[in-house]
Amino acid sequence: MRGLFIVIEGCDRSGKSTQCERLLQRFRDQGRDAQLIKFPDRTIQSGQLIDGYLKQSRHLHDKAIHLFFSANRWEAMDAIAAKLKAGTTLVVDRYAFSGVAFSAAKGLDLEWCKNPDKGLLIPDKVLFLDLPIEKAEQRGGFGEERYETRELQTKVRDIFMQLKEDSWKIIDADQTMEAVQEEMWNTVKELKPDSEEPRTGLWEQ
């Protein structure tokens, strides 16, 4: 059986990275082969440029940085498909939904933003960690990176809600870390792939 492709999304400071690590460990404790993938991957060439942009040490046109984010995801697709076929479950910290939500929140056309990512692998489940902006602002580190402003984060959440599909599970991130993790785990622990091969064709239907 192929591995599951599980994406964790949410606005900044919603606890995604911590919850991804915890979810990964839950799968491993169950004896399943599982790996964590983060987007953007800041270790490859496109990711290094993105890293400089996010840390505000580099300026790029909004359309250019959007395409770099998309290229960063496409660069990983063959490796992701191979891992899934080999039976590895993947917990993915951010995906194309983030790329589109952040770029569209800056004023780019929503359909234009989706186009570069059309055809990507389709997640089996998207877990969206929903946290009110006033709560996010109270968490350590808010405002350190380019996109962490109240106005932009509010727009980002609105666009995430436009992108939401039936495969999404909205999780209240304003709970204890343990309660959030339990809700995430209960959503995916018995999930089975609905196809033998990884599904392609994101946003092409």
Taking 3-state DSSP, the helix, strand and coil percentages for the chain, each rounded to the nearest 5, stand at 45, 15, 40
What predicted TM-score, i.e. pTM, was given to this entire model?
0.91
Question: Hey, what long-range contacts does 113-117 have (CB within 8 A, 24 or more apart)?
Answer: 113/66, 114/203, 116/66, 116/67, 116/70, 116/71, 117/70, 117/73, 117/202, 117/203
Name the E strands within the chain: 5-10, 34-38, 89-93, 125-130, 168-172
Is the pLDDT at 74 greater than 80, yes or no?
Answer: yes
Looking at residue 150, what is its pLDDT? 76
Q: What is the pLDDT of residues 153-197, one digit of tens each?
A: 889 999 999 999 999 999 999 999 999 999 999 999 999 998 999
Looking at residue 60, what is its pLDDT? 80
Q: Which strands make up the sheet holding 34-38, listed edge to edge?
A: 34-38, 89-93, 5-10, 125-130, 168-172
Looking at residue 140, what is its pLDDT? 55
Is the pLDDT at 125 greater than 70, yes or no?
Answer: yes
Is the pLDDT at 148 greater than 80, yes or no?
Answer: no
Q: What percent of the chain has pLDDT over 70?
A: 93
Which of the pair, 56 or 50, is modelled with greater confidence?
50
Tokens of 148: 């962490």
* 143-157 average pLDDT score: 74
Of the options 3.30.70.1140, 3.20.20.70, 3.40.50.300, 3.30.750.24, the CATH number for the domain spanning 5-188: 3.40.50.300
Q: What is the pLDDT of residues 10-52, one digit of tens each?
A: 977 778 999 999 999 999 999 999 999 999 988 877 888 887 7
Looking at residue 143, what is its pLDDT? 52
Is the pLDDT at 149 greater than 60, yes or no?
Answer: yes
Looking at residue 44, what is its pLDDT? 77
Q: What is the pLDDT of residues 80-122, one digit of tens each?
A: 999 999 999 999 999 999 999 999 999 999 999 999 999 999 9
